[in-house]
């Protein structure tokens, strides 16, 4: 692989895009092992910085991201994974995309799309403000 994992301490950003609609669903990070697992299983796998381990999207929700194509940017330091999203949403807060808020010129973030599933029903807990789960080391 010609990916520059060394540039960012062994991790590269991995943008996840719906293969059919083109919608950006999420951003995660991959190390070499996560990328190899993605190719080996077809399930998009990331390296969790907060848990310091590999995790496969959907392992707790069942909302998997089937990798169909992996592209590398011109600097060889960012990956784009085109996926078939199997499940109602990719966001742990209940939205189809993690990019569900529009940032206004004044800096305020406003919800730009509706929830597509109840995170409490999927994860067994109420949705928390962004960062709270990561601060506790909780799984997403």
CA distance 125 to 70: 33
List, for residues 2-23, the tens digit of each pLDDT value: 899 988 899 999 999 999 999 9
Q: Is the pLDDT of residue 39 over 90?
A: yes
List, for residues 57-80, the tens digit of each pLDDT value: 999 899 999 999 999 999 999 999
List, for residues 23-36, the tens digit of each pLDDT value: 999 999 999 999 99
CA distance 111 to 131: 17
Beta-carbon neighbour count of residue 101 at 10 Å? 15
- pTM equals 0.84
> Six-digit token pair at 126?
């109420």
| Tally of residues, the chain | 140
Beta-carbon neighbour count of residue 3 at 10 Å? 17
Give all domains of the chain, ordered by start, each with its CATH number: 5-135 (3.10.20.810)
Give how far Cα 102 sits from Cα of 13, 105, 109, 133, Å: 21, 10, 5, 22
* Residue 29 · residue 14 · CB < 8 Å: yes
Give how far Cα 83 sits from Cα of 42, 64, 80, 90, Å: 10, 9, 10, 11
> Six-digit token pair at 28?
């995660």
């Amino acid at each position: 692989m010609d990916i520059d994992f060394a540039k960012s301490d062994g991790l590269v950003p991995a943008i996840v895009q719906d293969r059919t609609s083109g919608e950006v669903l999420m951003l995660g990070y991959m190390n070499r092992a996560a990328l190899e697992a993605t190719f080996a299983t077809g399930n998009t796998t990331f390296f969790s910085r907060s848990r310091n381990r590999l995790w496969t999207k959907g392992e707790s929700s069942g909302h998997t991201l089937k990798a169909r194509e992996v592209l590398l940017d011109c600097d060889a330091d960012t990956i784009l994974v085109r996926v078939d999203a199997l499940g109602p949403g990719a966001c742990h807060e209940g939205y189809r995309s993690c990019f569900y808020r529009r940032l206004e010129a004044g800096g305020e973030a406003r919800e730009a799309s509706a929830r597509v599933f109840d995170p409490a029903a999927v994860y067994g807990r109420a949705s928390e403000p962004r960062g709270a789960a990561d601060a506790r080391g909780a799984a997403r």
